[in-house]
A = this chain, B = another copy of it.
Amino acid sequence: MKKSPELQILSLNAFSGEGAALPPDIAALVERRQRAFGAGSVLFYDVPLKVVGAEGPYLHASDGRAYLDFYNNVPTVGHCHPKVVEAVQKQVAAFNIHSRYLFDVSHDYAEKLLATFPAVLSNLVLTCTGSESNDLALRIARRATGGAGFVVTQTAYHGNTSAVTEVSPSSYRNGAPPPHVRMVPPPDPAVFGNDVGQGFAEAVAGAIAAMEADGIRFAGLLVDTIFSSDGVFADPPGFLKEAVEVARRAGGLFIADEVQPGFGRTGAGMWGFSRHGVEPDIVTMGKPMGNGYPVAGLVTRPQLLADFCADFGYFNTFAASPAAAAAALAVLEAIEEDGLIANADRVGRHLKARLTHLMARAPMTAVRGAGLYLGVAFGDEAGPRADIAKALINGLKEKGILIGAAGQFGNVLKIRPPLCIGIEHADRLADALEELLAA
């Protein structure tokens, strides 16, 4: 079978050992890394970066350079944000223990976070990773519906557990997801034409019908609400509505994976699903939640959680620990105090306009996205130009800018910087891209 998309995306940007000769200090670390981590080691770039510091939108490397970070969404309020650093430092010195005891910070956090969701989503389960959140969401959906089948997009990535890998087609290097997982194309105008909403909903309906024809009961529609690994699809706002209605009519839940778009990245409020005017049954969260401290979670309706807990005990030792809650609370406060949602909107619009302007003189086929999650496509399905994406990623690195790739063919530049990035940084990226495309 054909090489899977994820492998293409990975290898596009991964250290292979076949590139330029490595500086001695990097070569030594790479050798140690491969010996200890073996096949599990994946490094970025032909000459991997050794990080020695980070601040705001910059990663400092052992080569003495400060790299402008347009890749990392985990440090969402900025690398080493003083507020988050202080919160973690204080809490780990005071106490850090599991959540079968009471302490104030978890409650302060839970209430502040829940206030950002529709009122019906009033229960929070904290976990440690987005993978754990999606794994639990699948179980809650199965319990609620009696079904086992899920519909996902064809290059989706939702995490790394056994069950979540099954709903993550992009993780398969060989083989394909099992029969209870059905894939639909991403909501791409190139696939569905002008009415993306209707086309995507029909694809979902078709996938559900095919699954049920095979005797598999439908449990839910699970999508990343900005379709990151599929190549970033955000527009028009509202296009998800019809697919969600289709899923509900078929008796399934709608699970919104906000690991990528959540916490203000789209510039249109806290959550990607709200741009679409839909109300999920379960919302899963991850990466940016603690700005690097491992904390994740899901919100759902109390009855769905109660039904699940009637069948299974669920406890997560590190989740909801005081340090996790302190980090996560500091992130929510920093998003507010630093005005990061408005900033994501303002800088994202500026950057999108500048990138769109470049389309006139480059083989760019689309500039997509919302806020500070943008995708720039080169070529199309018939002739995807991953070669251009790769050249740009490496060229930008030479110019001190970090960026990644996404999409089924790895032909989409993925732009998702810390949300503290400014107009001047956006201009630096656009200028650099302009120079590289001119060359």
Scoring A residues 336 to 362 as 1 if CB is less than 8 Å from chain B, else 0, what string do you get? 000000000000000000000000000
Nearest-neighbor residue (CB-CB) of A69 within chain B: B97
How many copies the complex holds: the figure is 2
Chain B residues closer than 8 Å to A42, beta-carbon distance = 100, 313, 315
Nearest-neighbor residue (CB-CB) of A142 within chain B: B162
B95 touches A53 (CB 8 A): yes
A262 at the interface (CB under 8 A from B): no
A92 touches B95 (CB 8 A): no
Chain B residues closer than 8 Å to A242, beta-carbon distance = none
Tell me the residues in window 127-145 of chain A with beta carbons closer than 8 Å to chain B beta carbons. Answer: 128-132, 135-136, 138-139
Tell me the residues in window 70-94 of chain A with beta carbons closer than 8 Å to chain B beta carbons. Answer: 72, 74-75, 79-80, 84-85, 88-89, 92-94
Scoring A residues 268 to 287 as 1 if CB is less than 8 Å from chain B, else 0, what string do you get? 00000000000000000011
| Number of residues of chain A lying within 8 A (CB) of chain B | 101
Nearest-neighbor residue (CB-CB) of A287 within chain B: B317
A36 touches B123 (CB 8 A): yes
Query: Could you tell me the distance between the alpha carbons of A10 and B309 in the complex, rounded to whole angstroms?
Result: 13
Chain B residues closer than 8 Å to A43, beta-carbon distance = 100-102
Query: Could you tell me the distance between the alpha carbons of A104 and B51 in the complex, rounded to whole angstroms?
Result: 9
B313 touches A44 (CB 8 A): no
A30 at the interface (CB under 8 A from B): yes
Chain B residues closer than 8 Å to A314, beta-carbon distance = 40, 160, 171
B311 touches A173 (CB 8 A): yes
A39 at the interface (CB under 8 A from B): yes
Q: Which of B60, B96, B123, B308 contacts A80 (CB 8 A)?
A: B96
A421 to chain B, nearest CB (A): 16
A204 at the interface (CB under 8 A from B): no
Chain B residues closer than 8 Å to A48, beta-carbon distance = 101-102
B6 touches A173 (CB 8 A): no
A26 at the interface (CB under 8 A from B): yes
| A306-B49 contact given A43-B101, A160-B316, CB 8 Å threshold | no
Chain B residues closer than 8 Å to A310, beta-carbon distance = 39, 173-174
Chain B residues closer than 8 Å to A114, beta-carbon distance = 36
A124 at the interface (CB under 8 A from B): yes
Chain B residues closer than 8 Å to A93, beta-carbon distance = 80, 85, 89
B128 touches A294 (CB 8 A): yes
A415 to chain B, nearest CB (A): 17
Please name 9 pairs of A and B residues whose Cβ atoms are closer than 8 Å in the assembled complex, sorted by A: A32-B107, A38-B122, A40-B309, A51-B322, A72-B97, A74-B317, A79-B95, A174-B310, A293-B323
Q: List 5 A-B pairs, minimum CB-CB distance, nearest first.
A: A162-B163, A54-B95, A38-B123, A36-B110, A39-B309
